[in-house]
Amino acid sequence: MIPIGDNVFLFAQKKPYVTYILIGIIIGLFLWELKLELGNELGYTISKLGLIPAGITNALTAAISGNPAAWVAVIMSSTGIFTGMFLHSSFAQILGNLLFLWVFGNTLEKIIGHHRFLLLYLTSGIFTGIFQIFTEPNLTVPIIGANGAIASIIGAYIFKFPKVKIDSVLPLLIVFIPVEIPAFYYIFWWFIQQIFYGIGSLNIPPLGANQFSIGYWMQGIGMLFGAVYIRFIQSR
């Protein structure tokens, strides 16, 4: 199932500028990754900018044990929680995330506004990153991708529009069949498509990125975060 749009009619046709900017940044950084891959520099860059739970937990353990200098390492290694959400490890991952960002983020931003949408994107990405550290504190493979942030957008959208139909296409060999699918079903499809995010993987030595594990699936906690977020701003 490939989402291509929705049937939500909005009287106020605001331009989703934040969605446009996020898509532009992610595409620009992915092109930069491809350039680094050609120069055999991608592995080093991902190890510096990606989220590595073991690096943070080891530094934090040393700092708590009484090594003041280790707090610097905690701060430096923790930046990967933020920077990692703008990088991607494969063509399938970036295409899937951008497609969901465009379809669901487009409408959601128009409804809640630019600032609240950006706040949702950034805070959910950081929250899911922290959650992954607690889930797999000894993981040494970098985690990158906007999966957690995109999941929160899906969660917020479906909480707001549980019965909306999503315009989709269903690939059948070389034929694409247009269909309308209830937005709720994309909760399940988002989890299923995680299996295919390794397609077209970039060469990221020495261990690659986004090890397929429980922690990787836990980015789905972003869906719950998005639903709680939209419920909170609606009540104010």
Global pTM value: 0.89
Q: Can you tell me the mean pLDDT for 53-61?
A: 93
According to the model, what pLDDT value does residue 215 have?
A: 58
- Per the DSSP assignment, residues forming a β-bridge with 181 are 166
pLDDT at residue 78 tops 80: yes
Residues 49, 55, 56, 59: is their CA dihedral positive or negative? negative
According to the model, what pLDDT value does residue 50 have?
A: 93
Nearby residues of 63 by Cβ (< 8 Å), 6 or more positions away: 70, 71, 73, 74
Rounded to a whole number of angstroms, the distance between the first and last alpha carbons of the chain is: 35
Per-residue model confidence as pLDDT tens digits over 152-185: 999 999 998 888 888 777 766 566 667 777 787 8
Exposed, middle or buried: residue 98 (CB in 10 Å: 0-12, 13-18, 19+)? buried
Contact between 120 and 152 (Cβ < 8 Å): yes
More confident residue, 210 or 86: 86
Contact between 111 and 160 (Cβ < 8 Å): yes
Contact between 34 and 43 (Cβ < 8 Å): no
According to the model, what pLDDT value does residue 173 have?
A: 57
Q: What are phi and psi of 51, to 5 degrees?
A: -90, 120
DSSP state of 232: H
Of the candidates 131, 151, 129, the residue with the CA atom closest to the CA atom of residue 50 = 129
Separation of CA 110 from chain center:
20
The C-alpha atoms of residue 44 and residue 157 are separated, in whole angstroms, by 36
More confident residue, 104 or 213: 104
pLDDT at residue 109 tops 80: yes
According to the model, what pLDDT value does residue 193 have?
A: 78
Contact between 102 and 26 (Cβ < 8 Å): no
Whether the link from the prior residue into 206 is cis, omega within 30° of 0, is yes
Q: What count of Cα atoms within 13 Å lies in the side-chain half-sphere of residue 7?
A: 12
